[in-house]
Amino acid sequence: MSETIGFFTIPGESGYEDLTLNLAKRWGADCVRDCDGTKLSDQILNSGMQVYSTLCIIREHNEYVRKHPEHQQQVFLESKRILCTGSSVCLPLLDGYFKKQFQVNESVDSLRYWQVFDRTSQKEIPSSDWKYDSLSQSVLVSNPHAFHEYSVDFMAYRIWEEINMYNHVTNDWNNEPLRQLDPRYPEVREYLLQWLDAWCNSHRETSIVRFTSLFYNFVWIWGDDENNRHLFTDWSSYDFTVSPLALDQFVSRFGYSLSAEDFINSGLRNPSHVAWEGKMMDYLDFTNQFVSSFAKELVDVVHRYGKKAYVFYDDSWVGMEPYGHRFSSIGFDGIIKCVFSAFETRMCAGVEGPDVHEIRLHPYLFPVGLGGSPTFTDGGNPALDAQKYWVQIRRALLRSPVQRIGLGGYLHLTEGYPDFVDCITGIADEFRMIKDLHQCDSPLVYRPRIAILSKWGKLRSWTCGGHFHEHPDLDLLNILESLAGLPFEICFLGFDELSLDLLDDIDVIINAGIATSSWSGGNAWCSDTVVEILNRWVWKGGTYLAVNEASAFPGCDTGLRMAPVLGLILDDGSRLCHGRWPICEARQYTTLFGNASLFGKSNILILDSETEIIKAEEGRIVAASRSFGAGRGVYLSEFRYTAANTKMLERLLLWCCTNEVHQAFSCDCDDVSLTYFVNKKILVLSNTSNNEKSVHCETPYGLIIETIEPFGMVIMAKGESNVFS
């Protein structure tokens, strides 16, 4: 039984009323929710808990779609490329795509946006040289260039709402596929407003309407070959928002038009990991404006019925931009995010506007979890899974609180997993304890004040657009996962807003990623002004911390635009004949690097004898440092989240600012983090490992020796017994 109650959302399940009410009591739940495919019974609805209803506003309108298929959502696709070996080329449009997801939009409005390309010469074919054959759903190119490749960018309806499609295909469902509407069409908006009004009216028991989420899903293009089902997936890209109407409206607002090829981008599309050009940023703003304004209309309906409106920060969240300047104007009362990691917890906690930030814990109450691995089924260990996720989330919650936690899925699956039930009981208590610690108090923060510099800036605060397990190799994502639990003040800066005034309040800039990426900056590094501002700021005392290929720019002779600050060169093979400075570790940095472990980069060379090597590995640089005026350039070859690397990053950041690695409260164990709440003089030790840890902590109040159980958390108040005196 929980020692504390509240701030916990339980998924109710009809047919399991006793279980629902029993677990609600054990976990201290004050709120009950429905889930995809579940409906709550009266016994649950009347249990005294607040009721939460999930609503995916754009789907479950198949009846409407049958009448107005032209109001379905769309996407630009590129046909498979075909080599010209004869006198004409035939391009079948949907070859290779999942036919149940797409249907060619053959309307006149659609066709005027199609483009055919010679992909060898990268030149567009004039429309007089191609025609669409509706029967074969192919484009025929006349007068092609022999042995060049051709493809067509065309528009297709998305005829299956993607989340429904995924659940359907994964779980072998038999019910009718759900279609999805595009609220760009005024008729759709009017229809949805009326529909929502009726829904609110007929669901008096619902206290909270949880939108899942708004209108446009993250892009998720499927192929017809099961060996490569997911052709393109990005949690932050806007490919699923296009339509002839949207593009026409875009011209009216911006005075120029977007083409199919702006979206197809030679088949590369526009993943959010690659720095976007101005056009796509305009399109983001354009879509965000529309999404925000219609979302506000929907929220107003909910509010009119005295209900709260929460939104799910996943799935159909595209265009919503919780870190954008329009989000708070929508008027959501709460934001909910399902989280696996510390950075996602901070991402939810940091959204401004809603009163309630709620996280959905993993594992969900489903038979299988990530990548099909067993959870609540043979071979699964949901209690261990829950603990592993929780200790990462806890690191973030100790730095920055959220208001609620909860679970999702089918409650009956917990039967037979009593250790899971116990584990959640413990987690709920720990959550409420941490929440209490943050009441009128905050954890100690050290200098330096840190800015994450990327092309996205604040808009992608605490994220690289996706989950950790999807992109485990992104340096910045790993850094965010470490920083999420570290005692520093973090802000997110875009290249466009860089100025010396703004940087006055920053001690360290972290800039991380591979050359082309939006995270390292990509094409933002073409600007001399950026380099000049950063050079000047470091010279005056700042630290520029570069990871991997940060500041790389193709036209730059040293490979890295910040080469003078870092004292390093990124070689693309052009320096095969240049001499190389020897790579020797400077002994004084042994403690600084500690037990951290990273791969060195063989194509990072030393600029001159003034660069100091913090760490090398088989002749490859792992970490380096260089004085630059009153400041410093620091380099890491990559970053991967581990406990030891996190502690190294913490020491490195302290050292950048102070030349020392000392902090007032410190702990000698990589797996144990330490948080000090200033007003209440409370020290929290939390163990992220599955092993018992004995630690020595230095504090201004003396040395503390403590043993912490696996995944355990210890809270000590100053003056309490002999542990913190």
Task: Write down the least CB distance from residue 576 to its own copies, Å.
Answer: 5
| 196: enclosing H helix or E strand | helix 186-202
Helix 342-349 to helix 382-399 angle, to the nearest 10 degrees?
50
Task: Assess 86 for contact with its own copies (CB under 8 A).
Answer: no
**What type of residue is 52?**
Y
* Location of structure tokens 């206290």: 207
Task: Assess 608 for contact with its own copies (CB under 8 A).
Answer: yes
Task: Write down the least CB distance from residue 94 to its own copies, Å.
Answer: 15
Task: Assess 146 for contact with its own copies (CB under 8 A).
Answer: yes
CB contact at 8 A, 257 and 282 = no
What is the number of other CB atoms lying within 10 angstroms of the CB of residue 225? 10
Task: Write down the least CB distance from residue 658 to its own copies, Å.
Answer: 24
Interacting residues of 700 by C-beta distance below 8 A, sequence separation 6+:
664, 665
The residue among 223 and 350 lying less far from its own copies, judged by its C-beta, is 223
Which pair of tokens denotes residue 582? 């020897």
Restricting to residues 239-278, name those near its own copies by CB under 8 A. 266-269, 271-274
**What type of residue is 72?**
Q
Compute how many residues bind its own copies; rule: CB under 8 A: 64
Contact with its own copies (CB under 8 A) among 255, 379, 582, 700 = 582
Q: How far apart are CA 208 and CA 33, in angstroms?
A: 9
Q: What x-and-dash track marks residues 364-403 binding its own copies by CB under 8 A?
A: ----------------------------------------
Return the active site residues: 315
Contact with its own copies (CB under 8 A) among 26, 145, 279, 458 = 145
The residue among 551 and 686 lying less far from its own copies, judged by its C-beta, is 551
**What type of residue is 462?**
W
Q: How far apart are CA 666 and CA 663, in angstroms?
A: 6
Q: What x-and-dash track marks residues 546-565 binding its own copies by CB under 8 A?
A: --------xx-xx-----x-
Task: Assess 528 for contact with its own copies (CB under 8 A).
Answer: yes
The residue among 13 and 239 lying less far from its own copies, judged by its C-beta, is 239
The residue among 85 and 87 lying less far from its own copies, judged by its C-beta, is 85
**What type of residue is 67?**
K
The residue among 126 and 379 lying less far from its own copies, judged by its C-beta, is 126
Side-chain half-sphere exposure of 219, counting CA atoms within 13 A: 23
Distances (CA, A) of 385 to 214, 362, 462, 564, 671: 30, 8, 23, 46, 18
Return the closest-CA partner of residue 310 out of 344, 364, 351, 361: 351
- Identify the bridge partners of residue 75 per DSSP, sorted by sequence position: 156
Q: What x-and-dash track marks residues 304-323 binding its own copies by CB under 8 A?
A: --------------------
CB contact at 8 A, 36 and 360 = no
Contact with its own copies (CB under 8 A) among 233, 259, 329, 658 = 233
CB contact at 8 A, 443 and 678 = yes
Q: How far apart are CA 226 and CA 236, in angstroms?
A: 24
Task: Write down the least CB distance from residue 90 to its own copies, Å.
Answer: 17
CB contact at 8 A, 259 and 226 = no
Task: Write down the least CB distance from residue 638 to its own copies, Å.
Answer: 13
Q: How far apart are CA 105 and CA 151, in angstroms?
A: 17
How many Å separate Cα 238 from the centre of its chain?
14
The residue among 232 and 701 lying less far from its own copies, judged by its C-beta, is 232
Task: Write down the least CB distance from residue 539 to its own copies, Å.
Answer: 6
Task: Assess 479 for contact with its own copies (CB under 8 A).
Answer: no
Restricting to residues 213-232, name those near its own copies by CB under 8 A. 219, 223, 225, 227-232
Q: What x-and-dash track marks residues 499-518 binding its own copies by CB under 8 A?
A: ---------------xxxx-
Restricting to residues 615-674, name those near its own copies by CB under 8 A. 629
Restricting to residues 453-472, name those near its own copies by CB under 8 A. 471
Interacting residues of 672 by C-beta distance below 8 A, sequence separation 6+:
685, 686, 687, 688, 693, 695, 708
Binding site for its own copies (CB under 8 A): 81, 83, 85, 96, 119-122, 145-149, 219, 223, 225, 227-234, 237, 266-269, 271-274, 471, 474, 514-517, 528, 531-532, 535-536, 539, 554-555, 557-558, 564, 572-582, 608-609, 629
